[in-house]
């Protein structure tokens, strides 16, 4: 509850200038056409009218995820007696004489949904195909669990095996696998607890980032990934070139690169000049801030520094806000409010996923995160 209260206090941390909406920048609704007024009022579009095939395809509806069922304070007790459809992948399957327990994870949270099957369950004849890694669709009714590991479970009325999995060759098992091994099966490692938690935490941080700046009146600017400029001039850059595409077939890379006066002839390249992967979106952000006032960039950046440490990455996502007509105090206030906001959002909404990392770092880090959200 302390973490939740701290997260709620974050809404009051940002300076008033950052929180103030800019509705006054738009013309009055009376001066606009009816279509433009609906757009400015954020009126939801009619799904059926959006596409000619709306009636045939049907209305898109949000699916109920396991995180919504088991993520509340009651851990799913409010869902008891309600019908639920779970689509996911089998983590474990335990068959007993009269009942079979199948743990299904749909990727929405760290917790699995325990599905209880009996011989009367429709599709029970496929029980031999329900192995770790198989994808299934399960219909049933949420019920109170008889065990002590979870509050609720799913009494299955129907199960469909969508994709089978060979238990003798599927590499992800219940026991924890090393990261070195997971690199050899990169297409399956998102199904592990660690990489699933990493993806959800990154999603929460990205969402909180956009929400903070959008609510503060900033405009997101998409800076280019391929550029001819070295924004910061402090790090090595990755070259982007097509000069090696044909020379690789001949097996003589160096001799096939066009040259002029002993140097690479970039006029023969795709862009007719040296091009690089961006090291920062700051240069583009500054030009847009000179026209749009407060903006921010949020996208991938690349550094070709030959350093194999935890503090140097070849690719990472960087956030760079630019405030027009601001001084150092405004910059510090924005940075502090943003940091507290995203950390608070992480502590409040992603507690289970962050605790998933506790085996790799000290609990002192989580105490620091909670302290940061309440710092003024």
pLDDT, tens digit, for every residue of 83-131? 999 999 999 999 988 899 999 999 998 889 999 999 999 999 999 999 9
Query: CB neighbours of 146 closer than 8 A, spacing ≥ 6?
Result: 153
Q: Which two tokens stand for residue 234?
A: 């402090």
* pLDDT above 50: residue 71: yes
The CA distance from 173 to 210, in Å, is 36
Of 46-50, 301-305, 354-358, the least confident: 46-50
358 vs 144: which has the higher pLDDT: 144
Name beta bridge partners: 316.
301
Q: Name the pTM for this structure.
A: 0.76
Q: Which two tokens stand for residue 131?
A: 């192995």
How many beta carbons lie within 10 A of that of residue 284, not counting itself?
Answer: 21
Mean pLDDT of the chain: 80
The CA distance from 260 to 257, in Å, is 10
**pLDDT value at residue 179:** 87
Q: Are strands 295-302 and 315-322 parallel, antiparallel or unpaired?
A: antiparallel
Q: What is the mean pLDDT of residues 154-174?
A: 91
pLDDT in tens, 196-219: 988 988 998 999 999 999 999 999
Of 36-45, 152-161, 163-172, 279-288, the least confident: 36-45
SS3 assignment, position 322: strand
Of 56-70, 143-157, 259-273, 288-302, the least confident: 259-273
Angle at 345 between CA 339 and CA 348, to 5 degrees: 135
How many beta carbons lie within 10 A of that of residue 290, not counting itself?
Answer: 11
* Positive or negative torsion for Cα 63, 65, 69, 73: negative
CA-based nearest residue to 341, from 5, 10, 6, 12:
10
Under the banding of pLDDT at 50, 70 and 90, the label for residue 175 is confident
Q: Which domains does the chain have, with CATH numbers?
A: 67-163 (2.40.50.140), 196-373 (3.30.930.10)
């Amino acid at each position: 509850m302390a973490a939740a209260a701290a997260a709620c206090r974050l809404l009051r941390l940002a300076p008033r200038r950052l929180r103030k909406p800019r509705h006054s920048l738009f013309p009055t609704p009376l001066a606009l056409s009816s279509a433009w007024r609906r757009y400015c009022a954020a009126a939801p579009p009619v799904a059926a009218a959006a596409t000619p095939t709306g009636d045939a395809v049907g209305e898109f509806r949000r699916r109920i995820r396991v995180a919504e069922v088991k993520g509340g304070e009651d851990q799913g007790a409010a869902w008891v007696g309600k019908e639920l459809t779970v689509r996911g992948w089998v983590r474990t399957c335990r068959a007993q004489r009269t009942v079979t327990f199948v743990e299904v994870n749909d990727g929405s949270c760290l917790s699995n949904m325990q599905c209880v099957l009996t011989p009367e369950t429709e599709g029970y004849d496929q029980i031999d195909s329900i192995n770790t890694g198989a994808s299934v669709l399960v219909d049933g009714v949420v019920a109170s669990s008889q065990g002590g590991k979870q509050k609720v479970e799913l009494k299955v009325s129907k199960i469909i095996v969508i994709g089978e999995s060979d238990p003798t060759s599927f590499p992800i098992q219940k026991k924890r696998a090393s990261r070195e091994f997971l690199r050899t099966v990169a297409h399956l490692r998102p199904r592990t607890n660690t990489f699933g938690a990493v993806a959800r935490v990154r999603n929460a941080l990205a969402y909180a980032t956009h929400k903070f700046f959008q609510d503060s009146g900033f405009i997101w600017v998409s800076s280019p990934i391929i550029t001819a400029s070295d924004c910061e001039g402090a790090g090595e850059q990755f070259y982007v070139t097509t000069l090696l595409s044909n020379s690789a077939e001949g097996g003589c890379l160096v001799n096939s690169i066009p040259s002029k006066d002993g140097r690479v002839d970039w006029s023969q390249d795709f862009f007719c000049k040296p091009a690089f992967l961006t090291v920062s979106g700051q240069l583009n952000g500054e030009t847009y801030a000179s026209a749009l006032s407060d903006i921010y960039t949020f996208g991938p950046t690349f550094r070709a520094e030959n350093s194999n440490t935890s503090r140097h990455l070849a690719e990472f996502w960087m956030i760079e806000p630019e405030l027009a007509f601001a001084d150092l105090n405004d910059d510090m206030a924005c940075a502090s409010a943003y940091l507290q906001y995203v950390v608070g959002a992480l502590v409040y909404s992603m507690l289970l996923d962050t605790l998933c990392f506790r085996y790799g770092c000290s609990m002192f880090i989580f105490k620091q995160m909670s302290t940061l959200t309440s710092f003024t």
